[in-house]
Amino acid sequence: MSQNTDQTDSSLHSPNSVAVRTIRRAKSRVQWAAKTLTSVTITLLTDVELPWRQHRTPYRVFLAEFLLVRTRADVVAKHFEDIFSEFPNIRVLAEAEEEEIAKAVAPLGLHKRSKYLKRAAVYIVTENEGEIPNTLDELMDVPGLGAYSAPAIMAFAFDSHHVPADVNILRFLSRLTDLPMNHPTKGSEQLRDLLPYLSREENGPPTEYLLDFTRLICKSRKPRCELCPLQKRCVYFVLKTTEGDEK
């Protein structure tokens, strides 16, 4: 009997048990944050007008998500309409020479962007009759679309509940829960597994609000914690405040 008791006590303190409890606490914290963000309004989130949101079509969202890869939203906003006017639909984009596309998107940097954009447009024209795919699985088949861009297109073009694996959202989750960002842009599997708990299906805020919040409030540098309604359960804020009190 005592042997079984010892084994039970030991299992409660095993690394796996600690990991499970850590994930459960993180999930609970994220679910609370999602509901809290739904119930508050932060006026700063209207700070930047993004043209692909103002006149929204699946193609404009598709184009914007390619342009936003490794590029700040405010930079893309300055050039978006010029690029769109040159390639106003997916067929024009697919038929364009790669050099034309490269010249149009050059102000955004990332020289490989034009190749991926051209390849994606050709794929959509040839494999989907020129229609932007409207399911996540189909979008994931498009060359150049991945764990961030495909869910983002689903959310913004088709009003789905998907939450993209955006670096700002992953960093926010890391700060909130104290789970590590094992990769500077991809986060970690644990963080990505928490994304669905921020969705509207879990009573979370609209995806656009979430992206704006993590980009403008929970910023990479100098986060604006004084404006954040999640202070009391944010591990990052609690630790920062504690460290400040100790100095």
Q: What are phi and psi for residue 60, nearest 5 degrees? A: -65, -40
37 compared with 8, residue with greater pLDDT: 37
The candidate with the shortest Cα–Cα distance to 130, out of 81, 64, 62, 54, is 62
Query: For the residues 148-165, what does the mean pLDDT come to?
Result: 90
Q: Tell me the pLDDT band of 244, cut-offs 50, 70 and 90.
A: low
| Residue 10 pLDDT greater than 60, yes or no | no
What was the pLDDT predicted at 209?
87
| Residue 6 pLDDT greater than 80, yes or no | no
Lowest mean pLDDT of 17-21, 98-102, 167-171, 181-185, name the range.
17-21
- pLDDT tens digits, one per residue of 60-100: 999 999 999 888 888 999 999 999 999 999 999 999 999 99
34 compared with 212, residue with greater pLDDT: 34
- pLDDT tens digits, one per residue of 174-221: 999 999 999 988 899 999 999 999 998 888 998 888 988 998 899 999
- Residues counted in the chain: 247
pTM for this prediction: 0.77
Query: For the residues 21-45, what does the mean pLDDT come to?
Result: 84
What was the pLDDT predicted at 3?
46
Q: Choose the most confident range, by mean pLDDT, from 16-25, 34-43, 206-215.
A: 206-215
- pLDDT tens digits, one per residue of 98-139: 999 999 999 998 778 999 999 999 999 999 999 999 999 999
What was the pLDDT predicted at 27?
95
What was the pLDDT predicted at 228?
94
What was the pLDDT predicted at 85?
97
What was the pLDDT predicted at 211?
87
Which string of DSSP letters, residue by residue, matches the chain?
Answer: -HHHHHHHHHHHTSHHHHHHHHHHHHHHHHHHHHHHHHH---GGGGSS--HHHHS--HHHHHHHHHHTTTS-HHHHHHHHHHHHHHS-SHHHHHHS-HHHHHHHHGGG--TTHHHHHHHHHHHHHHHSTTPPP-SHHHHHTSTT--TTHHHHHHHHHH--------HHHHHHHHHHH----SBTTTB-HHHHHHGGGGSGGGT---HHHHHHHHHHTS-SSS--GGG-TTGGG-HHHHHHHHHHHH-
Q: Which residues contact 17 (CB under 8 A, 6 or more apart)?
A: 11
